[in-house]
Amino acid sequence: MAGKTLTRMDLSEAVFREVGLSRNDSAQLVESVLDYMSDSLVQGEQVKISSFGTFSVRDKAARVGRNPKTGQEVPINPRRVLTFRPSHLMKDRVAAGNKK
């Protein structure tokens, strides 16, 4: 499965197979969950999914960076970035998958 990307379509297909909703209902469910997560993150809330991990938004301050090629200083504007911190269970599961 290396090199494959999990898409919204894949998620809705999994819901269709596992839960038994129609394909349209499965797609709408996946969209609703992702929209709810996105809206929460935009408002600055954390999204914690048990046994998976925590999504959060960090505010990064303005700073001076340096162009590595020329050495010229460049101002970097303040911004908000999305971070993900996997749970210990997820870390262990991923590590166990690498040993196979």
Specify the pLDDT at position 1: 45
Going from N- to C-terminal start, the domains of the chain cover 7-43, 44-99
Cα separation of 31 and 80, whole Å? 23
Cα separation of 89 and 10, whole Å? 23
Q: What is the CATH architecture of 44-99?
A: Irregular (4.10)
pLDDT tens, position by position, 31-89 = 999 999 999 999 999 999 999 999 999 999 999 999 999 999 999 999 999 999 999 99
